[in-house]
C-alpha cells in the first residue's frame, strides 16, 4: 500500500463498522482536532498476530481515562475490531493504529462532556521505522524541547497532544540529516527519543531512564524482561547528560522502532555491539514466535 494516507484502497474500522478507507472522515469541528482530546496506540502484526495486542487495548482505555473520557467499546470489542480490520485489508504483517477521540457535538469550547467519543482502527504495511538505520545504527540529534513534568501534562498516557514537541524535534533532526532526536526531561535528565524509549550499555550492564515523566513503552518492558532473562543487570534510573560520553552501546525501543541500534547522539558515538545485536535479534524472534 502506498500513497497519501487519506487516499488508499482498503477498509478502516470506525465506530463499530468497516467503512471504505476514503470515507473514514471526521468533521472540521471535531473536538480532538482543536483541543487534542485524543489518544492512540501503535501496534505491529507479525504472521497474523498482533504482538501484545491486549496490553495495547488496555492501555488505550487507560490513556482515555487519563484524559477524562471513556471509550464506548470494551477491550474485547477492540480486539475483535483489530482482527476484522486486518482481515478486511488482507494483512498478516503490518502496522495497526487505534485512535479514540472526542468528536464533534454540542460543545465547541475547552469543555466537551456532551460530545461523543469516537474510535477508529486502521492497518497498513509499514517497514522499518528508521529505514536502514536499523542495521547500521541511527543518528540522533539532541532536541531543544523537553518532556514535561507529570504535574503539567498526563505524561503516562499515550495522548496525541504530548507528541506536538516530538514532531518539532524530529523535523529539526531530519533537517540536520538525523533519523530522530533524543529528548531530556524537564529536570535535564535523559528521557527518550521522539517516539521510542532509549537504552545504553556500559561494562556489560544496561542503563535506561526511569519512565517517571514519559511513557513506559510496552516494547521497553518486553526488552527489560529479555535482558533479565539473559542475566544482564538493568539499571532503571535518572541519567545525566554528561554520562553519554561513557556509554559504549545504545538502542531505541518502540512498536514502530522495534529494537533499533544507535550509532551517534550529537557528538557522542556508540558501537553496535554484542548486547545490542543479541537483543535486536532476540526481539525479532520473540514477536514472530
Catalytic (active site) residue 158? yes
Among 99, 101, 130, CA closest to 37: 101
Taking phi first (over 0 means left), then psi (-120 to 50 degrees means alpha), and beta for anything else, what does residue 248 get? alpha
Q: Tell me the C-alpha distance between 279 and 289, whole Å.
A: 15
Name the catalytic one among 82, 139, 158, 170.
Answer: 158
How far CA 81 is from CA of 53, 73, 88, 238, 272, in Å, comes to 12, 10, 10, 39, 39
Going by their DSSP bridges, the two strands 197-202 and 205-209 should be labelled as antiparallel
Give the H or E element holding residue 269. strand 268-269
Q: Tell me the C-alpha distance between 237 and 185, whole Å.
A: 13
Q: Tell me the C-alpha distance between 176 and 38, whole Å.
A: 30
Q: Are 100 and 70 in contact (CB under 8 A)?
A: no
Q: Residue 124 has which C-alpha cell?
A: 497498513
How far CA 58 is from CA of 11, 150, 178, in Å, comes to 24, 21, 34
Q: Are 146 and 138 in contact (CB under 8 A)?
A: no
Q: Tell me the C-alpha distance between 66 and 36, whole Å.
A: 13
Q: What is the sign, positive or negative, of the torsion defined by CA atoms of 42, 45, 49, 51?
A: negative
Cell match 544482564: residue?
A: 232
DSSP letter (8 states) at residue 234? E
- Catalytic positions are 158
Amino acid at each position: 500500500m502506498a500513497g497519501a494516507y487519506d487516499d488508499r484502497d482498503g477498509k478502516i474500522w470506525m465506530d463499530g463498522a468497516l467503512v471504505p478507507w476514503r470515507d473514514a472522515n471526521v468533521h472540521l469541528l471535531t473536538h480532538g482536532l482543536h483541543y487534542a482530546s485524543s489518544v492512540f496506540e501503535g501496534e505491529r502484526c507479525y504472521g497474523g498476530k498482533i504482538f501484545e495486542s491486549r496490553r495495547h487495548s488496555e492501555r488505550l482505555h487507560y490513556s482515555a481515562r487519563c484524559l477524562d473520557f471513556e471509550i464506548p467499546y470494551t477491550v474485547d470489542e477492540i480486539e475483535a475490531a483489530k482482527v476484522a480490520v486486518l482481515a478486511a485489508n488482507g494483512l498478516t504483517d503490518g502496522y495497526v493504529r487505534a485512535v479514540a477521540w472526542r468528536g464533534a457535538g454540542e460543545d465547541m469550547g475547552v469543555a466537551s462532556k456532551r460530545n461523543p467519543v469516537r474510535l477508529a482502527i486502521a492497518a497498513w504495511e509499514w517497514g522499518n521505522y528508521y529505514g536502514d538505520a536499523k542495521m547500521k545504527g541511527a543518528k540522533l540529534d539532541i532536541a531543544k524541547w523537553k518532556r514535561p513534568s507529570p504535574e503539567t501534562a498526563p505524561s503516562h498516557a499515550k495522548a496525541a497532544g504530548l507528541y506536538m514537541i516530538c514532531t518539532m524535534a524530529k523535523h529539526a533532526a531530519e533537517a540536520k540529516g538525523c533519523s530522530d532526536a533524543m529528548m531530556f526531561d524537564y529536570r535535564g535528565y535523559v528521557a527518550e527519543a521522539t517516539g521510542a524509549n532509549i537504552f545504553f550499555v556500559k561494562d556489560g550492564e544496561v542503563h535506561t531512564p526511569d519512565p517517571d515523566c514519559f511513557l513506559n513503552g510496552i516494547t521497553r518492558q518486553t526488552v527489560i524482561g529479555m535482558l533479565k532473562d539473559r542475566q544482564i543487570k538493568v539499571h532503571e534510573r535518572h541519567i545525566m547528560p554528561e554520562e553519554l560520553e561513557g556509554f559504549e552501546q545504545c538502542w531505541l525501543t518502540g512498536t514502530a522502532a522495534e529494537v533499533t541500534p544507535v550509532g551517534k547522539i550529537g557528538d557522542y558515538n556508540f558501537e553496535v555491539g554484542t548486547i545490542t545485536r543479541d537483543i535486536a535479534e532476540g526481539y525479532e524472534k520473540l514477536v514472530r514466535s
